[in-house]
Amino acid sequence: MPRIALPSGGRQMAWASLAVAGFAALPLMATPYQLSTLVVSMVFLLPALGLNLILGYTGMLSLAQMGFFGVGGYASALLAMHYGTPFWFNLLAACVVPALLAVPLAIPALRLRHTSFVMCTIAFVFILESTAKNWVSLTRGDMGLSSVPRPRLGLWAGGYEVHTIPEFYYLGLLLSVSAIALLVLIVRSPAGRYMVAIRDDEILAASIGGQTWHYRLASFVLSAAFAGAGGSYYVHYITVISPTVFDPSYTNTVLVVALGGGVGTILGPILGSVVFVALSEALRMAPELRMVIYGLILTTSVFAFPRGLIEPLARVVLRLWPLSLRRSHVG
């Protein structure tokens, strides 16, 4: 995977700030429908960032992301409905509860390898779906939870209520930027570099004295927290949640966002969330052919760009960047 190497950390910050400013200005020119599409993109971006951490940087394919997403959504909804807690408290709980739940799953699952590990994470999502359907006193079963309060940005009860599409967009942008910044800090830390070593060669990584299982556990737990944050944002946006949140189609969407954009990079899931979720929404204009066209596009992209869309984008940037530098020197 080619990496876009900018000349300095300061210039990287400048480009990142420029990108955030551009996204912040979108509500001034985008329609409510376009903003709602971007909100949905950010909903799936959060669990995709967690999948990127565990798959792209640690080398483990987990299909439990949307299970943790659903747990975070239920935790956030129940707190808001029964205790009137503010959004920030609900968001924290939506990160902590899936992270704690990930520990007992990880203890046996991380001792498995490859296909067995994937099957274990799939089974976990089925267990969560069955629990949500049958624990009627808590989740109301198949009827789900409705009338979930809108996010309140206060310290406890009360506070400013988010209810318009632009406001949800800005809230999602804040959460997405924070999650991306946290992911950058993780992968650039010594622990993150060791996770990459585990992905490339776990035996070699273990030979230098590190506890590889502990780092894999940390990656798994952190990925669950990312997914739970997405569940909290999702449930307060649509104000309902039911066991359908554990449906495999949601898992497929997260996989498409992460793999289609390009795992093992910071920009890959961001690009995937914008392109593939927006593409899915755009194809609603042809409902009869929507999934056929979407499937054909995905199949074509897999064969054309097996490492994700970020690879051709990186090639273009790497070609244009030296050219822009030469022009600036000439000027």
Q: What token pair was written down for 135?
A: 């624990």
* Per-residue model confidence as pLDDT tens digits over 144-165: 999 999 999 887 767 889 999 9
* Per-residue model confidence as pLDDT tens digits over 123-138: 999 999 999 999 999 9
User: Which region, left, alpha or beta, applies to residue 147 given φ > 0 means left and ψ of -120 to 50 means alpha?
Assistant: left
pLDDT of residue 330: 40
Quick count: other Cβ atoms within 10 Å of Cβ 42?
Answer: 27
Q: Is residue 315 part of a domain?
A: no
What whole-number distance in Å separates Cα of residue 229 and Cα of residue 174?
12
Q: Using CB atoms within 10 Å of the CB of residue 289, give its burial: 0 to 12 exposed, 13 to 18 middle, 19+ buried.
A: exposed
Domain of 129? 19-247
- Using alpha carbons, list the distances in angstroms from residue 30 to 26, 219, 271, 278: 6, 36, 18, 13
* Per-residue model confidence as pLDDT tens digits over 183-228: 999 999 999 999 999 898 888 888 877 788 899 999 999 999 999 9
Is the separation of the CB atoms in 73 and 207 below 8 Å? no
Cβ within 8 Å of residue 26, ≥6 positions away: 34, 35, 38, 169
> Of 265, 294, 236, 301, nearest to 42 (Cα)?
236
Q: Is residue 222 part of a domain?
A: yes
Total domains present in the chain: 1
Torsion, Cα of 37, 161, 234, 104 (10° steps): 150
Considering the entire predicted model, what is its pTM?
0.89
Buried-exposed string 308-323: b where 16+ CB fall within 10 A, e elsewhere: bbbbebbeeeeeeeee
Q: Is residue 124 part of a domain?
A: yes
What whole-number distance in Å separates Cα of residue 239 and Cα of residue 234?
8
Q: Is residue 59 part of a domain?
A: yes
Q: Between vectors from CA 140 to CA 138 and to CA 145, what angle results, nearest 5°?
A: 95
Q: Is residue 171 part of a domain?
A: yes
Q: Is residue 321 part of a domain?
A: no
Q: Is residue 24 part of a domain?
A: yes
Q: Is residue 311 part of a domain?
A: no
Residues of the chain predicted below pLDDT 50: 1-8, 323-331
